[in-house]
Structure formats: C-alpha cells, structure tokens
Amino acid sequence: MGSRVRTGVLIAVVACAALISTGSLGQSQPQSQPQSQAAGHPPDEPKPLVGDPVHGKAISYTCLGCHGVPGYRNAYPNYSVPKLEGQHPEYLVIALQAYRAGDRSHITMHAQASSLSDQDMTDIAAYFAGEPIKPRSSAAAPQAAAVCVACHGQDGVGITPQYPSLAGQHEDYLERALHEYRKGGRKNPIMATFAGQLKEDVKADDVRLLARYYSQQRPGLKTEERPSTVLTAHQ
Ligand code: HEC
Ligand code: HEC
C-alpha cells in the first residue's frame, strides 16, 4: 500500500469519527448496562432499543412480498431488491429511519417506513438480519477499494454495526446505491463524499468494479424465502 492509500484510510477514519461525534450516523451505540440503567440514566441519554424478532415477524409480512422473494426486482428503474439476511440490524434501522425521514428518496420504502416507530424498526431489523455475517481475514480488495475497506472491510463485512455489509449483496443494487449517493438521491454525508470521489468513465468505472467486487465476496448476505401473508405472520 502506498502513502496515498494510507492517507485515504486515515481520512476515512477521521471523517467517520467526526460524523459519529456530531451524531450524523443516527443513534448512539447500543452499550446498555442494566446496572447503570437501574441506577438511573441521565434523562437526555436515549435508552438503546432491544429488538424483538417475534414482534418483528408479526408486523413485517408486507415487507416480505419484496424482501422475502429471492430475485425480486424494483420495476422502475429495474434493479434487485436488497438482501437483508445477515446484515447488521443496527444498520437496517438507520436505513429505515433514512427512508422515513426522506434522506433516501425511494418512494415505496418511504411509504413503508413512515408508519413504523423506532421500536418497530428495531424489531423488524432483528427478524430480517438473523445472524449477521462475520468477516473472513483473507480477501484482497482491488486498489479502487483502498478507501472503502476502512469501513466496509476487505471482504465487505462492515467493521461496525452502523456500517452496512456489502458482501454477497446484489451487484445492481450496490451500483444503484452508489449512484444515489453520487447524485444526491441518498443524502448520507459520509457516502456522498466517498462515492463522489469514484471514477466513472469509459476508461475506469470504479462504481461498477466495486459493486462487482463486493457482490462476489463470501460469506455473503442472503434473501431467505419467507411466507408473506398475515396468516403466516404468527407461525
Ligand atoms: C414493493 C417492494 C418493497 C416492499 C413492500 C418493501 N421494500 Fe424495502 N426495499 C425495496 C427496494 C426496491 C429497496 C431499495 C431502495 C433503494 O434503492 O434505496 C428497499 C430497501 C430496503 C432497506 C435498505 C436496505 C439496505 O441495504 O440499505 C431496508 C432496511 C428495507 N427495504 C426494509 C423494508 C421493510 C422493513 C419493509 C416493510 C415494512 C419493506 N422494506 C418493504 C422494496 C420493498
Ligand atoms: C467512513 C466510513 C465509510 C467509508 C470509507 C465508505 N463507506 Fe460506504 N457506507 C458507510 C455508511 C455509514 C453507509 C450507510 C449510509 C446510509 O445510511 O445511507 C455506507 C453505505 C454504503 C453503500 C450502500 C449499502 C446499502 O446496503 O445500501 C454502499 C454500496 C457503499 N457504502 C459502498 C462504499 C464504497 C464502494 C466505498 C469506497 C469508495 C465506501 N462505501 C466507503 C460508510 C463508509
């Protein structure tokens, strides 16, 4: 790795530290200690929510019409519905909050998230994520990923629960997401910066290259086929 790479990683780490400390990443980290709660939290410190996957299942059957069907696609524009199984549940909540707030422009997901409370989102995230995938040590990421690996790992497993895992995700969805950060359809300040710096022309298409690289990493995210009617929700 050259010094340019090291500088890039350093910038990445500094940028994310700054964003965490200003709260741009959404919730504070869940570091609940039952003892300190019993002793009384300061009133301004939000209590971390604990996900209940059974309740999550009961209220998410509408989601399954898209997220419980392997290979399901968004119609206009045409790209794959993202895989959620194996994702960090903390990240799934942040993503849902972004759709609810309009920081991600997808209209259907905005409608879906609008009626959900933070507790509902935490419960649904616990149900969908299941067991989050674990990093492998031995992937060799391409040069274009030198900056990305500081947060998304060499093999596409997010290094903190707030950073999405990309491993095994649909290639066309990853490309779509990167374009949305570049064009402003997604307003996350971290990713606007990093996606904005990618080369995308006939000679070097880093967006496509990185989407392909991360989509091919294993272990990867999955879409588990799940029944999707109100009748199956409580089974
Ligand atoms: C009509 C199909 C459809 C339904 C129903 C639907 N989704 Fe989605 N969902 C999508 C698509 C398409 C995207 C990608 C949107 C984008 O490009 O940002 C998405 C994105 C997401 C993401 C972001 C994933 C990531 O990696 O950032 C989460 C989380 C999510 N949906 C959860 C849900 C939940 C929970 C429900 C039910 C309350 C639901 N979805 C209902 C199609 C759907
Ligand atoms: C400083 C940490 C950091 C760096 C560096 C970084 N990312 Fe991200 N990335 C994030 C965070 C945080 C999110 C979630 C943003 C949001 O809430 O929309 C994200 C989201 C994404 C997503 C969307 C995932 C999904 O499921 O919707 C993709 C794709 C992505 N990053 C790719 C990259 C690539 C490629 C690079 C390198 C060019 C990169 N990231 C660099 C932190 C980072």
pLDDT in tens, 100-125: 999 999 999 999 999 999 999 999 99
pLDDT value of residue 134: 94
Question: Could you tell me the distance, in angstroms and rounded to a whole number, from the CA of residue 64 to the centre of ligand 1?
Answer: 10
Quick one: which H or E segment has residue 6?
helix 3-21
Phi-psi region of 65 (alpha: psi -120 to 50; beta: other; left: phi over 0): alpha
Residue 133, in any domain of the structure:
yes
Low-confidence stretches of the chain (pLDDT beneath 50):
1-3, 5, 7-8, 10-38
Question: Given this model, what pLDDT does residue 226 score?
Answer: 85
- Model pLDDT, residue 139: 80
Q: Is residue 235 part of a domain?
A: no
The answer for residues whose C-beta is within 8 angstroms of residue 150's C-beta and 6 or more apart is 8, 9, 12, 13, 16, 159
What's the longest Cα–Cα distance across the chain?
61
The total number of structural domains that make up the chain? 1
The whole-angstrom separation of Cα 127 and Cα 121 is: 10
C-beta separation of 96 from 116 below 8 A? yes
The whole-number pLDDT of residue 94 equals 98
8 Å CB contact between 224 and 85: yes
pLDDT number for residue 123? 98
Torsions phi, psi of 166, nearest 5? Answer: -110, -15
Place of tokens 């998304």: 152
Question: Does 11 fall in a domain?
Answer: no
CA 195 to chain centroid: 15
Residue 221 covered by a domain:
no
The CATH number given to whatever domain includes residue 148 is 1.10.760.10
Which residues line ligand 2 at a C-beta cut-off of 6 Å?
12, 15-16, 82, 94-95, 98, 147-148, 150-152, 162-164, 166, 174, 177-178, 186, 188, 190-191, 194, 198, 210
Residue 91 in any domain: the answer is: yes
Tokens standing for residue 68:
């419980």
Rounded (10°) CA dihedral 213, 214, 217, 219: 180
Is there a contact between 66 and 72 (Cβ–Cβ < 8 Å)? yes
39 domain-assigned: no
Peptide bond between residue 89 and the one before it cis (omega within 30 degrees of 0): no
In a domain, 47, yes or no: no
Is 206 a member of any domain? yes
Smallest-distance ligand from the CA of 194: 2
Residue 201 structural domain: 53-215
The answer, yes or no, to whether any atom of ligand 1 lies below 6 A from the CB of 96, is yes
The predicted pLDDT at position 46 comes to 77
In testing the pocket of ligand 2, which one of 148, 171, 214 has its CB within 8 Å of the most ligand atoms? 148
